[in-house]
Amino acid sequence: MSESPVYLDHHATTPVDPRVVEAMLPYFTQQFGNAASRTHAFGQAAQRAVEEARERIASVLGASAREVVFTSGATESNNLAILGAAEAYAARGKHVITLATEHKAVLDPVAHLAEKGYETTILAVEPTGLLEIERLEAAIRDDTVLVSVMAANNEIGVLQDLAAIGRLTRDRGVLLHTDAAQAIGKVELRVDEVPVDLLSISGHKVYGPKGIGVLWLRGKNPRVRLRARQFGGGHERGLRSGTLDVPAIVGIATALELGESERAIEARRLGGLRDRLCERILGELDDVVVHGDRDRRLPGNLNLGFGGVPGEALLTGLRDIAVSSGSACTSADPQPSHVLAAIGVSPQVAHASLRFGIGRHNTTAEIDRAAARVVEVVRHLRAIYPGDESRFETVRPE
């Protein structure tokens, strides 16, 4: 009897936690009302569920409930934040800054602004993947209205110093948006402690349902204004019209609460599993490098580049281990990862790099099995593809 595949792609998506499913179920068949239908008990019950969820999410974030806007996911939240803020503050200036390592859900809206006549600056990062604060300081201009920097990178897991970045943008009177889809529930991030102005969340990255997200926007000091991108009914204070998905809203609120309550313990566990996986692979193979800063990174993230193997064959050989070679949103793109390219990784090694995303339900046995399988496949490929040009200097764990 064959073993089940090992799922190590939690940056792409997470399974819905059974406790989240349990919380959602009544809102499919029993309390199924439309939250906008407030003239009868069914709609009123749905509205209460939505507002209670809004309060619960705000509590996790250290925010006010009125600052929480529901969307379909972090991609929509990013678009609403970036495009909505750029348009709302166009009279003040038309310059936007972001990083070369951002998710396409940030880079593409910024590119759209450039097509509309805005000036955009895409900042380089250090080989570690981290932003040098002086580089951002030099890039901010009098007409800069928005900086967008993700809290945790979805490929190499590095954690940007949002506190320092936020202090700089606040001093310069510039709004700071962060895509926190990968960070929330995994590292501490509260908007009453970190000076960000807009923050994006996706339910399916935090063991909640797909198709639901949150955009948080600061309500005072400063009060953030946005230009709506979707119209038809005035839902969510006119910022995001459309019938609210009550079960999913209850689900994301539950998922965020669970993530926050278990975060510290889970971070230690995931960090231990990640280090075990790294040590077992690097202890058996040479010509392997860890992409991204070794210390400032998500506890469950490991991104390794393997010299001397063709990337497509590497992924094919690991069909029983669910990993990826980059962002899930661009996995059909044959081009190497733009994130790895931005930190100086060659195209050959980028193609032969694997992102391991360790999650809530992974076990030590699964980690050991995955490590052994990676070692086996890499050794096999190196034996049949000698002389591959992607070899490079070995980096050992510290």
Please confirm, yes or no, whether 329 is among the known catalytic residues.
Answer: yes
Catalytic residue chosen out of the listed positions 65, 329, 375, 395: 329
144, 148, 169, 165: which is closest to 222 by C-alpha?
169
Q: In angstroms, rounded to a whole number, what is the distance separating the alpha carbons of residues 365 and 167?
A: 43
Residue entry with tokens 């193997």? 309
Write 178-181 long-range contacts (CB < 8 A, 24+). Answer: 178/148, 178/149, 178/150, 178/151, 179/74, 179/77, 179/78, 179/102, 179/103, 179/105, 179/106, 179/148, 179/150, 179/151, 180/150, 180/151, 180/152, 181/74, 181/103, 181/150, 181/154, 181/205, 181/213
User: Burial, 192: exposed, middle or buried (Cβ in 10 Å; 0-12, 13-18, 19+)?
Assistant: exposed
Which residues make Cβ contacts (< 8 Å) with residue 59, sequence separation at least 6? none
Contact criterion met (CB below 8 Å) for 288 and 306:
yes
DSSP state of 188: -
114 φ/ψ angles, rounded to the nearest 5 degrees: -60, -40
Pairwise CA distance, residues 366 & 275, whole Å: 14
Q: Which of 180, 157, 203 is nearest to 356 (CA)?
A: 157
Catalytic annotation, residues? 329
